[in-house]
């Protein structure tokens, strides 16, 4: 089962719409509630990151029998130092993002905590690709 | 503790989800930082106490399975927030009290912290 969502940079009104759709879809499919929560928390953090940092982005979701794979690809400034960005407390977020309750440098670490597999690849001045995979059974 | 008990003790008003007035709340978490809220890991019925009133507050609680949000310091809930909350069967409460006072009152009444 495949889905695709477009995310606009700076559009905080609609941030979370894709995550909300995926949550409902996983519920309908009868996925364990703790796995749904882990997945949507990681996805929502990633979706907010596109809105907060990129110009635009695309989210591709592939739900298979045993796992969910999510790829978030954005056009934006990229992350110069991913290791640094993975550290709790490191953030380059704008005051606007902080007003929304984010930008405390917890997004990427929280994504890592809630994903079975997390890959982050980035090219400065081009964009970032985040891949999240969660398995339905431990 | 029910939502009704909470509202009574903090001069609160339920602005969305009136039908859930007698639903129980087991514990609470107070924060304006949504990233902190997203780290909560519990299956209990939580209430978020916050001074951050925007649509991302509702979205964050949707992802975190938090069904009750208490807005402090007289923060007003917008129509858009109400719609989103209704869609997710949430309860939204407003109180003029500060976050510290609200938390203190409810803690003294026996409402447990998450951690």
Phi, psi of B112 (to 5 degrees): -75, 150
- Residue boundaries of the structural domains of chain B: 3-113
Predicted confidence pLDDT, tens digits, chain B (115 residues):
999 999 999 999 999 999 999 999 999 999 999 999 999 988 899 999 999 999 999 999 999 999 999 999 999 999 999 999 999 999 999 999 999 999 999 999 999 999 8
- CATH number of the domain located at residue range(s) A2-135 in this protein: 3.30.565.10
Tell me the H-state helices in B1-115: 3-9, 34-37, 55-64, 79-87, 99-108
In this structure, what is the dihedral angle of CA atoms B54, A27, A129, A101, given to the nearest 10 degrees?
Answer: 20
Note whether A12 contacts B: Cβ–Cβ < 8 A: yes
B3-113: which CATH topology? 3.40.1390
Contacts of B55 in chain A (CB under 8 A): 12-13, 15-16
Contacts by residues A109-112 (CB-CB < 8 Å, ≥ 24 positions apart): A110/A41, A110/A42, A110/A45, A110/B35, A110/B38, A110/B39, A111/A42, A111/A45, A111/A46, A112/A86
pLDDT in the model for residue A86: 87
Distance CA B64, CA B52 (A): 16
Q: Among all residues of chain B, which has the CA nearest to that of A110?
A: B39
Phi, psi of A77 (to 5 degrees): -75, -15
- Mean pLDDT of all residues in A4-30: 94
Shortest distance, CA A122 to any CA of chain B (angstroms): 22
Place of tokens 């949000």: B69
This prediction has a pTM of 0.93
Q: What is the gyration radius of the CA atoms in chain B, in angstroms?
A: 12
Closest CA to B57 of A49, A41, A46, A100: A100
Q: Which residues contact B24 (CB under 8 A, 6 or more apart)?
A: B1, B2, B45
Q: Among all residues of chain B, which has the CA nearest to that of A114?
A: B39
Of A41, A100, A104, which has the smallest distance from its Cβ to B64's Cβ? A41
pLDDT in the model for residue B18: 97
Sorting pLDDT into bands at 50, 70 and 90, what band is A34? very high
Q: What percent of chain A has a predicted confidence (pLDDT) above 70?
A: 99
Tell me whether residues A107 and B35 touch, CB distance under 8 A: yes
Return the bridge partners of B50, or none: B71
Instruction: Tell me: pLDDT of A138 over 70.
Output: no
Q: Which residues contact B27 (CB under 8 A, 6 or more apart)?
A: B42, B44, B45, B46, B47, B111, B112, B113, B114
Work out whether the CA dihedral B100, B102, B105, B111 comes out positive or negative: negative
Alpha-carbon distances of A77 from A36, A40, A80, A91, A92, rounded to whole Å: 30, 25, 9, 14, 11
Tell me the H-state helices in chain A: 17-28, 33-53, 82-85, 95-99, 107-114
Tokens of A14: 């609609």
Say what the ipTM of the complex is: 0.90
Contacts of A23 in chain B (CB under 8 A): 62-63
Tell me whether residues A107 and B36 touch, CB distance under 8 A: no
Reported as a single tens digit per residue, the pLDDT across A43-71 is 999 999 999 999 999 999 999 999 999 99
């Amino acid at each position: 089962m495949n889905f695709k969502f477009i995310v606009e940079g700076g559009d905080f009104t609609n941030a979370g719409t894709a995550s909300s759709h995926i949550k409902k879809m996983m519920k309908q499919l009868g996925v364990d509630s703790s796995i749904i929560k882990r997945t949507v928390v990681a996805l929502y953090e990633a979706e907010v990151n596109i809105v907060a940092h990129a110009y635009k982005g695309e989210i591709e979701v592939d739900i298979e029998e045993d796992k969910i794979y999510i790829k978030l690809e954005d056009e934006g400034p990229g992350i110069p130092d991913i290791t640094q960005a993975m550290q709790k407390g490191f953030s380059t977020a704008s005051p606007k993002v902080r007003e929304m309750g984010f930008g405390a440098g917890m997004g990427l670490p929280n994504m890592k905590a809630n994903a079975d597999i997390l890959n982050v690849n980035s090219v400065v001045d081009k964009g970032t690709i985040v891949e999240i995979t969660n398995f339905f059974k431990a | 503790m029910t939502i009704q008990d909470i509202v009574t003790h903090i001069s609160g008003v339920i602005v969305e989800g009136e039908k859930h007035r007698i639903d129980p709340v087991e514990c609470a978490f107070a924060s304006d930082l949504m990233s902190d809220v997203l780290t909560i890991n519990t299956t209990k019925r939580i209430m978020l106490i916050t001074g951050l009133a925007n649509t991302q507050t509702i979205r964050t609680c949707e992802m975190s399975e938090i069904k009750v949000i208490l807005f402090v310091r007289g923060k007003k809930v917008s129509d858009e927030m109400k719609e989103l909350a209704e869609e997710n069967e949430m309860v939204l409460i407003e109180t003029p009290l500060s976050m510290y006072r609200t938390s203190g009152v409810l803690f003294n009444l026996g409402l447990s912290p998450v951690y």
